[in-house]
Structure 1
């Protein structure tokens, strides 16, 4: 035997054993994911049946199950909603995929791929294709499953594909989610042509509206171009800083950017630069003090004091507390203090919520019902407003209690309990001051230079390549370039 071959063989066998062990673990996890989705679905169906019997409408019966799951498992309501939807589809539309999932032969990502591609397929075609696609998924990654399934569906029903495309386009959306360190993630589904139109517009702006000395990368320019389309300027401003920039005449006549309506809760000391406590950006969460002050440069201010403006307990009810709708001042204060929907796990900004009476308002005799006051109002999104109303009417098994200091205790039908605190209060009235940081202590992040600085000449060449070269020709060109490197 050649020296060293024995060691190599042993290492190879050890690697094979690890791969087999990894496959086994992955299969077990997939089977557990299937069991979890099935259990969530059973809970949803149980709660739905119970609530229908209690008179809840078919449209909303059972929707509180995902909030209950969120409390029990400390997971987001959206994730629970998605898993319940998957469980229902596996049970009623995709039996072969359900069996493979339960056995651990496919995982959750592959199930999502199957479900997304077959979502709008009619029943007779579904019964033909679902077993075939589920079997294919056992040996293919999710993206390959999607591509192959789309081809099979189009081949089997070219006429219906146009209908399915229109149905899918009807589900288009754009969403903005909070990310880390003062950034957001833009997520959306657009019609194919619209998506390409948007990207090409951003690429055109990034390539033609700044000079070759602009320090930003192409990715950064496209991101800034999207904001420019939204703020009304419709163009990029070159950041080269040169007095003789060839784009300066165009930049000089660019319209002023429109300022979006955003809500920020921040302490007066932080706003004045005396402290650097974080601020609360509605729908996002915590942002640093420097960003809060930047936003505040163009802001309108509403002062929220830490003294209770609602003195109904001491002086009796005022006339305004006997009306159903709160005054603008009370509404603003409640939303500022609560920050977001007060239900557990919900991130809907308070500005987009209903102001719900904890103790019910009596329309027939306001003196006997709960007042329209700061103490008795809380921010709740429409979904959790319904949950609270059904709880008050004993139709969903929940119990919702207001506690001192605006805390709210939510108790599920099975007795799990969680207490939520107002999110805005710690930002408006921080208990521990954060010392301010000098401007010199917060350096600007350095721009990472691209491998190729896309100046005017290179941008022009890239534009010509995209216009006159096929994808195959471009791939061949780059393969040749890499071989020479």
Structure 2
């Protein structure tokens, strides 16, 4: 179908079909909502008090939708409920969906995050606010849409935070044995505690040298025990081991220093307002949590920093510039990426001129943005992607096929009054996936070749031990039976001397080995 099409034409077909799909979803939901209204009217005409009917209008509509779309009953009921909620609670958002200016995934998030709102005036205000901004969320990640909707709900209806409070009441921490010498750790923590634990484990896991043979996941797992004992994580690389690295030392009450960044409005911090705040790496938090964290925090006023002529010609930004850019962006600025800003690089939109810094690419907030390492490499080494940074912090991306995407700073979206390593230059990473796969297969085959005789010998030894134990149990049973029979006869027999021997132990020592098998028959 597309053999003769250019790459740009293929991307255009994908984007156009996605927009048409949104229109079709909107049209389908409108039809379902209309059908639900008619079936509900029919049910009410049969019985004015139809709340206790066996088959309600919702059930009738769900059955028809399930038959028409070949859906199971549960999925059909969910679809009808979503159509009803969108039609009755958010008609303006539904109009945006029918126009193809947003997608069904974003609308589902809106419906889910606003299901506790019941006041009609609040719903109308939310409908107006979200419908005016939802068209700009095309390049937003799911997490960022969640944060924006949560902020709007908390600002208009504080009672709608019941779900979060209930979730916090269910916090727990369990250690569940799973066998094979391992256990599973499962739990629910409040947001502040979760960030502290995660940051401390990450700091311990990164404290070993680069030659440590463990993966990052393995180091994080080992860091849990070290953190619980107040120890540092010992390195396991051969060089450190042979050099006699001292044992992990106890951290004398200081622990791993953890920094948590929280952005909040001044009125919220002073206790005269209830605007939600934002916990970096987590999401939107309500004003009460912000004030609780402020009691033991260092408060800084976040303003656009003043950069001198000398500072803007340096590659590394100042601490004030770095703090402002991370708080302004909140996440990676590539379309759809939600990597937290504190784990991103600071990238110069206009590349820094290392030869002559005075010629452009200055280290200023209006030329810096947060990019995760993956997208930083993509932007730096893939010449097909281009970006332009506007004065308000908006980034306009141009793809290799010429399509344009806009991403706005997350901090400015949440706080309109606002205008993990520092800025590092990414290094090219060349990978041969086919060669890596071949090496991985070769390593697995070599490991199988090494383990096969070991496992075979182990199985033979286990079978021999089991056979020996069964034989001893059988001989002991026959000896006891023979002794019982001789006692009844009261006649000793010279041919049963073996019954006078003591019983053999029915357990084997750990070092027991079966007797060697004869190579030749005994006769």
TM-score, normalised with respect to structure 1? 0.38
* Larger Rg, first or second structure (1 or 2): 2
TM-score, normalised with respect to structure 2? 0.35
